[in-house]
Amino acid sequence: MKLNKSLRAGIYTVSIITFLTGCENRAPKTAPPKEPVGVVGVVAEKIEISNNIRIVGQVAKLKEAELRARIEGVILEANFKTGESVKKGDVIYRIEKDIYQADAERIAAELEKEKAVAKLAEVDYLRAKRLFSEKAISAQEYDQAASNLETARASVKVQEASLNRALLDLKYTEIPSPINGVPGIGKYDVGNLVNPQSQPLLKIIQTDPILIEFYVPEAKYTEYARRKADKHLQERQVNVYALLPDGKVYDKIGKIYDIDNEVNRATGSILLRAIFDNPDRILTVGQYVRVILVEEEKTPSLMIPQAAVQEDQQGAFVMVVGADKTPEVRRITTGRQYDMNIVVESGLNDGETIITQGLQKVRPGEKIALTLDDGFTSSLKSYTIISKDELPESMKTDEQKAEEAKEKEKLEKPDKPKESKVKEKTPSSNPSKNK
């Protein structure tokens, strides 16, 4: 029995120790401090940038002329080549003129005949006038002489008009170009009979200078019109660039040529036309291009990455990093977008830090571990409205050309193979070590 009591006492002792140990394990532990969330941010920065807009446009002709036959006849000559420039006054078509030459000569002879009759009638009239004053002839004879003179003079005028018409018909046997331009494909060939009812013989389009038509939203036009009305801003010029289908900007700068007088009700936009020099005929009528309108004078604008902007029912906002490394919500008003960046018009100050990556992990007031993206600042310094890839060689600055030359040289120059740091083992002079 004593053994059993000792065994029981031991069992109770172990149970109590186990219970107490379990209680200690179930006691609450203090949670470790939460690590700051890692995010990437940038510093909002003001840069000088020109107001600009990109719109789809289409090349259009400044002038167009259709050549038509104004008389009937057979085409003897066609003095042009499709696609090659012609000058104003160049004779493009010649129509047979023998009939019209003969008519002009015949009418000229009849005119001389009528002039002779008129001269004789004038002599008769002067004689009759003298005799009538001497009362040698009757009033009826005098009146008849005066009538004969007027009739003869009228006949001269009729023949003069007929001769002018004949000479015009003779002139119409040559069809000149009324403008400088480029002819298209002719509708008629040499030997074809044409007349005033025939289709246009040829269409000539002026290609230098040339126009580009594009539609601007009415809001943008209103902004432009206000700037033109403002005495302080009306001196600012708007340059027009054309981005060609090959991705390069046309190397001639255009200017606004004219503006339509009404807004298109269906699209809510207004038609503008810009004029460009086009000596090499790079721009072709009907061609689609991207029009870039750029105001010459630059204005300071606060720029941030588009990725930093979030939106909710109240509008746009960003997460601004405070001095204590905690983010806060800041409501902003955004403006124009430039590539992957956007202008902030209000709500944010120059030099403030905003979060661009890791936004889904942060909460206002919680500590963060911030890494600044220096690439954003460097990209702003080198930012241009027209990228270097879009610029043609003739529009690049000397600095851009030198930079490209360095990059090209770097790509063409092969990298030198790195020298191995591990030296080759040479055989030992000690024969015992070589064994």
Does the structure show a pLDDT above 50 at 7? Answer: no
Closest alpha carbon to 318 in 306, 308, 327: 308
Q: What is the mean pLDDT of the chain?
A: 82
82 and 194 assigned to the same domain: yes
Asked whether residue 305 falls in the same domain as residue 392, the answer is yes
Range of weakest confidence among 42-56, 104-118, 241-255: 42-56
Length of the chain, in residues: 435
193 part of a folded domain: yes
Across 35-57, average pLDDT: 81
Same domain, 304 and 392: yes
Residue 351's closest CA among 379, 375, 377? 377
Alpha-carbon distance of 49 to 11, in angstroms, equals 87
Section 288-307 average pLDDT: 84
* Contact between 44 and 304 (Cβ < 8 Å): yes
19 part of a folded domain: no
Q: Are residues 87 and 101 in the same domain?
A: no
Q: Which of 299, 323, 347 is the last residue of a domain?
A: 299
Judging by DSSP bridges, how do beta strands 37-43 and 368-372 pair with one another?
parallel
Question: Same domain for 361 and 387?
Answer: yes
Q: Please name the residue that has the structure tokens 């046309």.
A: 250
Do 229 and 333 reside in the same domain of the chain? no
Same domain, 129 and 85: no
Q: What is the average per-residue pLDDT within 174-186?
A: 93
342 in the same domain as 317: yes
In a domain, 216, yes or no: yes
Does 35 fall in a domain? Answer: no
Residue type for position 136: A
Give the pLDDT band of residue 1 (cuts 50, 70, 90): very low
Domain extent at residue 342: 300-396
pLDDT at 88: 93
CA distance 180 to 337: 42
pLDDT at residue 92 is higher than 60: yes
Query: Per-residue pLDDT averaged across 111-136, rounded?
Result: 92
Six-digit token pair at 416? 């030198």
Task: Report the pLDDT value the prediction gives residue 161, as an integer from 0 to 100.
Answer: 95
Are 216 and 199 found together in one domain?
A: no
Number of other residues whose CB lies within 10 A of the CB of residue 118: 19
Amino acid at residue number 175: I
Whether pLDDT at 29 is above 50: yes
Q: Does the reported pTM lie above 0.85?
A: no
* Of the candidate ranges 61-70, 97-106, 311-320, 425-434, the one whose mean pLDDT is the lowest: 425-434
Instruction: Report if residue 37 sits inside a domain.
Output: no
Domain boundary residue among 164, 183, 205? 205
Q: Name the more confident of 415 and 105.
A: 105
CATH number at residue 241: 2.40.30.170
CB atoms within 10 A of CB 305: 20
Q: What CATH number does the domain containing 326 carry?
A: 2.40.420.20
Kindly state whether residues 82 and 198 are assigned to the same domain: yes
The CATH number linked to 157 is 1.10.287.470
Q: What is the pLDDT of residues 129-157, one digit of tens each?
A: 999 888 888 999 989 999 999 999 999 99
Residues 264 and 306 in one domain: no
Give the residue from 264, 299, 334 where a domain finishes: 299
| 427 belongs to a structural domain | no
* CATH number reported for the structural domain that contains residue 198 in this entry: 2.40.50.100
Classify residue 287: in a domain, yes or no. yes
- Chain position carrying tokens 């010029």: 237
Whether residue 192 is found in the same domain as residue 216: no
3-state SS, residue 334: strand
Average pLDDT over residues 344-359: 88
What is the percent of the chain with per-residue pLDDT over 90, rounded to a whole number? 40
In-domain check, residue 370: yes
**How many domains are there within the chain?**
4
- Tens-digit pLDDT profile for residues 391-426: 666 666 666 667 667 766 766 665 555 554 444 454
